[in-house]
Chains A and B, each alone.
Chain A
Amino acid sequence: MSPLDPFLTLGIERRFEVDLARVERQHRELSRALHPDRYVSAPPGERRAALERAVQVNEAFRVVRDPVRRAEALFALAGVPVGEDREPKAAPAFLMEVMEHREALAEAKAARDRAAIEALATAVRSREAEAERALARGLDGGADPATLVGRLGELRFYRRFLEEADAALEEWTDGSL
């Protein structure tokens, strides 16, 4: 079973670096043509065919919009196994970094130190951007994808870390948006 090509579904180039505005536009136009609302009084065959494609378009949209899933799709299309239990183990240096970040976050949370959490989040966000740039350079530049899988693991970690930091910050907001 071959993996789906979400880039093809949306009619965009198969690259890590994408123009999100264009992705949104393509998604909107395809939705206009395929959304079930357009086929309410269509014969069942057309309804089914449209629904199947609308689902596919929305799935592709979900994948392409999200850097982690987008990278996963590119690896899968290149034949590199992905999925957390199928990727090679992370590099020791990165595991070290992970531990340090985790400890710092746990300490800041225990001390309810808002500024410290924000500083950590900012630092991790820039690491996240760095990993994304590396993936863009490598995947779009023709490097051997197998050498880049580690970056995907990093990206996943940064994402999870930022979610946790955000959740902690959310608990003590001051009431404004």
Chain B
Amino acid sequence: MALFEIFDPKAAPRPIGIDLGTTNSLVAYVKDGRPEVIADCNADRLLPSVVFYDEHGGAVVGRAAQARAAESPRETIVSVKRCMGKGGDDPETRRLGPYAFAPPAEGEANVVRFDVRGRRLTPVEVSADILRALKQLAEDELRSVGPAVITVPAYFDDAQRQATKDAGRLAGLDVLRLLNEPTAAALAYGLDKKKDGTFCVYDLGGGTFDVTVLLLEDGVFQVKSTGGDSALGGDDMDRAVAEEIFRVADLPPERRTPAIIRAVLDTSRALKHQLTEREAASAPSPLGVGPAELTLARSRFDELIAPILERTGVACRRAMKDAGLRGEALDGVILVGGATRVPAVRAYVKKLFGKEPLADIDPDAVVAMGAALQAHLLAGEGHKDEVLLLDVLPLSLGIEVGGGVVDKILPRNTTIPTGARATYTTQEDNQTGFQIHVVQGERELVADCRSLARFTLKGIPPMAAGMARLEVRFDVDADGILSVTAKETTTGLEQHVEVVPSYGLDDDAIEAMLLDALDHGEEDLEKRRLAEGQVEAHRMVLATRKGLAADAELLAPGERELIAAAVAALEEAAAGASAAAIQSRISDLDHATRAFAERRMNAAIAKATLGQRLDAVEKTVEHAKGIDLAHAEGTRAVG
């Protein structure tokens, strides 16, 4: 039986969960109902998130790349996650590190670009190389890899999320969902322990800190609040130690070469690791001057990292307040992330929350395990009806109004998916377009928030100032990613919205990278589109049949025949070789099932609200059309 399985050439694609970490990345899947992290041929489960680029442009990922870091510090990218979704001038690029950065060229997106042997690499491309290595690892184990869930820090903003999704797409993954890391960890814990209650996840990774408060009840994991710092983690501990080493050795700046900086950072990390078990640590000095051995006492290390811990405390207090809770109301505190192995971190968390934190699932693996569980559930393979994750928007979304002030349209900790609408009017006669600047953050001034994008609305019919009414709709999907649509309500014209991301790549840039990444460009891309179309067609046919079988009584006379014809046409197209034909039949079937889908949805609502007064149910169903913002909003004028 086992032999048969191994040699089965048509293995069913298995969904995977990926923890794309700052320091290490992991891939996991669900085997016999339990999440399992995939190890490489050396039984290693952690793939260092390190990429070395050789002379020929080839990418080496993991331990082999790590081994090159010392001799090729500029060509070996470490901790790329910290640069995801960041602008070319971000403070992150000026921190202690060995890299050379390239400024964006005229007309190019404002993103970080590493200068590696004259090649200009974005963090999205580097991350895609890590994801490809993980995908390969999974293929070696499972033979056929299905859709993926990729985790992101809960505190990642829109640009950082979009960049992660882009990297997944570039790596050829079918990304089902971006899942917040603390929520993933909670899922792994919750399903393991089957215990309801309110939990706090304290997740200190290599480069990011997240804190999430969530309520687990009846299989629903409802995030109450989240907070954190997307540039705070174990790396900063290493930097603090490295800076101490430079300070003590009094090494002049000109001798701090990329190779020395890399070596000192590595030594610092080694010292930190030793201090987990011991009171004092020592390592050979990479400096070439002064004593041959460097030593560090745990007490001194604890002093060096105290400011980092204090920053996590600020985020924890705020998250608890947002959740309306005090420390004693928690049923447990869960530790996640390699940096929570540091004894001072554990002691700090214990003092902060007044209870002993839980760390019985490997803090390095727990996020990947949760991601695998979610991928398994989303792919429809698990006990789907029992488990649901309800996550939130981590940072408020707002729009710039007069005087550089932010008008918040969606507050942080709003359950996603969500949306809001705002109405604008023109300020000048015959104004035919205007710009909306969307920002993310909690501060009052635009300058203190993170700029996400500028949306340009065009094609407003010429009218007197103040006459046009533009309704702009902001939608945040279940991945926490924003999209904007607009319409002019006096004429009902849909407006064209042109998006210029402040710190991201646009679709054209991603498309170009995709082409670049494939050996035979266009030809390969067409093949890939065909394969993707076939998968989608297959999925759609199956789902449609399932729906027809489940809710046959909701069909109108003659509807079944119409749908069946559209299904047959799609199946025929899927057997062919044209991606465009498949897309066209998909859209036909979509059209044929639209009314049926609406009826099924209303039935689902009615079923969910059973137990309430029957007339209310009917009203709800009737009402469940169109979306509107309940609290009335004033009309904003934007120049």
Contact = CB atoms under 8 A, between A and B. Distances in A.
Given A46-B600, A53-B605, A40 B420 contact: no
B627 A43 contact: no
Interface stretch (A69-77, A96-104, A107-115, A127-135): A69-77
A87 to B, nearest CB: 10
A177 B326 contact: yes
Contacts of A90: none
B632 interface: yes
A9 B609 CA distance: 10
B93 interface: no
Contacts of A44: 540, 586, 590
Given A59-B419, A177-B354, A41 B630 contact: no
A177 B348 CA distance: 12
B317 A173 contact: yes
A175 B154 CA distance: 23
Nearest to B628: A4
A50 B604 CA distance: 9
A30 B605 contact: yes
Interface string A29-62: 1111111111011111110111111111011111
A36 B601 contact: no
15 contacts: A6-B630, A11-B616, A27-B415, A30-B609, A32-B385, A34-B605, A36-B478, A41-B378, A43-B597, A46-B593, A49-B601, A59-B630, A72-B632, A82-B632, A176-B327
B612 A83 contact: no
Contacts of A9: 620, 623-624
A69 B420 CA distance: 13
A60 to B, nearest CB: 7
B598 interface: yes
A175 to B, nearest CB: 7
B609 A29 contact: yes
A41 B601 CA distance: 15
B34 to A, nearest CB: 20
A58 to B, nearest CB: 5
Contacts of A61: 415
Contacts of B628: 1-4
B627 A177 contact: no
A4 B619 CA distance: 12
Contacts of A59: 418-420, 627, 629-630
B598 A49 contact: yes
A11 to B, nearest CB: 4
B378 A177 contact: no
Contacts of B418: 55, 58-59, 62
B278 interface: no
B294 interface: no
Contacts of B539: 41
Interface hub of B316, B385, B597 (most chain A Cβ within 10 A): B597
Interface string B382-415: 0011001110000000000000000000010011
Given A4-B628, A44-B586, A72-B630, A33 B605 contact: yes
A106 interface: no
A2 B622 CA distance: 14
A177 B352 contact: yes
Contact of B604 (A26, A33, A72, A170): A33
A36 B78 CA distance: 35
B377 interface: yes
Interface string B466-479: 00000000010110
Contact of A177 (B327, B416, B478, B590): B327
B634 A86 contact: yes
B262 to A, nearest CB: 36
B339 interface: no
Interface stretch (B40-48, B67-75, B110-118, B541-549): B541-549
Contacts of B542: 41
A17 interface: no
B482 interface: no
